[in-house]
Amino acid sequence: MLTYKLTLAYDGTDYAGWQLQPNGTAVQEIVERAIERVFREKVRVHGSGRTDAGVHALAQVAHFQVPKAKAKIPVANLRRAFNGALPPDVRVLKVERAADGFHARFSAHEKTYRYQIFCGEVMDPFLRRWSAHWPRSLDVAAMRRAARVLAGRHDFAAFSANPQREQESTVRTLKRLSVARHGKLVTITATADGFLYKMVRSLAGALLKVGAGKLTAADIGRFLASKQRTALVETAPPQGLFLVKVKY
Q: Are strands 185-192 and 171-182 parallel, antiparallel or unpaired?
A: antiparallel
**Which secondary structure element, helix H or strand E, spans residue 201, and what is its range?**
helix 199-211
Q: One-letter amino acid identity for 93? A: L
Radius of gyration over alpha carbons of the chain, in Å?
19
52 belongs to the catalytic site = yes
Out of 52, 139, 155, 219, the active site residue is: 52
- In a 10 Å sphere around its CB, with 0-12 CB exposed, 13-18 middle and 19+ buried, how is residue 52 labelled? buried
DSSP 8-state assignment for residue 115: E
CA-CA-CA-CA torsion sign (168, 171, 175, 177):
positive
Determine the Cα–Cα distance for residues 55 and 12; give it in Å rounded to an integer: 5
Q: Which residues are designated catalytic?
A: 52
